A = this chain, B = another copy of it.
C-alpha cells in the first residue's frame, strides 16, 4: 500500500510540468454498463465473429485488429466484397478513453459506435440491426451467452445488449506501460535523451495544446463531449493538395454546420508509431512526415530535421504493451449455414 501511495505522489510531482499523463491502467466504465467477465467474454466473441457481416467475411477485428495496432494498416478500411471505406480505421486500443468515437465524433460512446459498422453497406453490410439479431439468434451458443450476460433482461438478445457487450470487451483493450508511462511513473531511464528532447519540443512547439491529457486526445472533456479541432488549422500549405487534406469535410458531414468544416476529433497519440498510415485518409505513410504535416498545418511551424527526429523518438515511446488475449471459441454453427452463396 505504501508503495502505491509513493508511486502516486511521485507521479503527481513528475507530471506537474505537463498535462500529458501516463495511460491509466483501466478505462472509465459507464454506470449503465458495468464490466462483468461473462459480458466481456460475449463481447469478445462478437468482436471476432465475421458471421455478423452480410457475407460472413468481416468482423470488428477485420479493421480493428487487436493482433496488431488495433487497426488494419490500410489507408482506409475494407468491408465486404472488397469495398473501400472513406476513412482509415482508428485504433481500438485505448478507444475507451476517447470521449467520442469515429473520426468525426458522431458516436457519443463505445456502445453507440459498435452499432455503426454492422449496417454500413461498405463495412459489414447487414440490412438492419434486426437482421443482425436474427443471425445471432440462429447461433444457440450466443443466445445462452446473452442470457447469462444480461440475466435481468426479459429479452436479453437485443442490439443494445450486443453493443454493450462489445463495448465492455473494448474497455479491456488498454495498452499501458509504454516507455513514457514508465517514465511518468518514476523510471527516469525509460526515455532516451532524444525522446526527452522530443517531449519538451511537443510542448514548446505547441502540439500539446490539443494532444494532452489522458490518451493525448484532450483534457477535461466529459464522456460524450468531443474535442474537435480544425485540420488543417492553417490552409494553404503544400500539404493540402499533396495529401488531399480538404476534400473530406470531417465533422461537417455530421452536423452540416459550416463551423465544423474540416474539423475532426483530436486523435490519440498512444501507439501512434504502430498505426501507420496517417490521418483520416491514410495518405501519409510515415510518422516523420505526419509530424511535419501537423507542425505546418496546425502551428505554422517548419521544424528542423533534428526536431522531427526527436519528436518521432518521443512518439515512439508511446507504444504500450498489449494485453494477452485468448482467442474466443465462437458459438458453433450446427445444421445450418449463415452465409448463403450469392
Query: Could you tell me which A residues sit within 8 Å of B by CB distance?
Result: 45, 48-51, 55-58, 62, 65-69, 72-76, 78, 80-82, 84, 273-274, 276-277, 282, 285-288, 322, 324-330, 332-342
A74 and B56 within 8 A (CB)? yes
Closest B residue to A72 by beta carbon equals B56
Choose from B66, B75, B327 the contact partner of A340 (Cβ within 8 Å): B75
Give, as a whole number of angstroms, the nearest-CB distance from A205 to chain B.
21
- Across the interface, which residues of B come within 8 angstroms of A55, CB to CB? 78, 82
Residues of B within 8 A of A274 (CB): 332-334
Q: What 7 A-B pairs come out closest when comparing CB atoms? A: A81-B82, A286-B335, A73-B333, A274-B332, A325-B327, A277-B337, A68-B330
Beyond A84-B342, A330-B65, is A276–B335 a contact (Cβ under 8 Å)?
yes
Asked if A341 meets B84 with Cβ closer than 8 Å, knowing A286-B335, A327-B67, A334-B273, the reply is yes
**A41 smallest CB distance to B (angstroms):** 13
Nearest CB in chain B: distance from A82 CB, A: 3
Judging by beta carbons under 8 Å apart, are A57 and B82 in contact? Answer: yes
Report the Cα distance A286→B57, complex, angstroms: 22
A74 contact set on B, CB distance < 8 A: 56, 337-339, 341
Inter-chain contacts of A69 with B (CB < 8 A): 332-333
Hey, which chain B residues are within 8 Å of A330, CB to CB?
Answer: 65, 67-68
Closest chain B residue, CB of each to CB of A324: B326
How often does this chain occur in the complex, in copies?
A: 2
CB-based contact B337/A276 at 8 Å? yes
For A273, the chain B residues whose CB sits under 8 A away are: 334
A287 nearest CB across to chain B (Å) = 6
Given A73-B51, A76-B341, A80-B82, A276-B336 contact (CB < 8 Å) = yes
User: Which of B57, B324, B336 is A57 in contact with, Cβ under 8 Å?
Assistant: B57
Given contacts A322-B329, A325-B327, contact A338 B73 (CB under 8 A): yes
Whether A326 lies near B325 (C-beta < 8 A) is yes
| CA gap between A58 and B72 in the complex, in Å | 12
Shortest CB-to-CB span from A171 to chain B, Å, is 17
Contact among B56, B67, B75, B338 with A337 in the assembled complex (CB-CB below 8 Å): B75
Give, as a whole number of angstroms, the nearest-CB distance from A309 to chain B: 13
Report chain B residues within 8 Å CB of A325. 326-327
Q: Kindly identify which residue among B56, B75, B81, B338 contacts A341, using a CB–CB cutoff of 8 Å.
A: B75
Are A66 and B337 neighbours in the complex by a CB distance under 8 Å? Answer: no
CB distance from A249 to the nearest CB of B (A): 20
List 15 additional contacts besides A75-B337, A273-B334, A277-B337; criterion CB under 8 Å: A50-B65, A56-B73, A57-B62, A67-B329, A68-B330, A73-B337, A74-B337, A74-B338, A80-B82, A82-B342, A276-B334, A276-B335, A276-B337, A288-B335, A325-B326
Q: How far is the CA of A146 from the CA of B336 in the complex (A)?
A: 40
A15 to B341, CA, bound (A): 41
When chains A and B are docked, how far (Å) is the Cα of A235 from the Cα of B81?
37
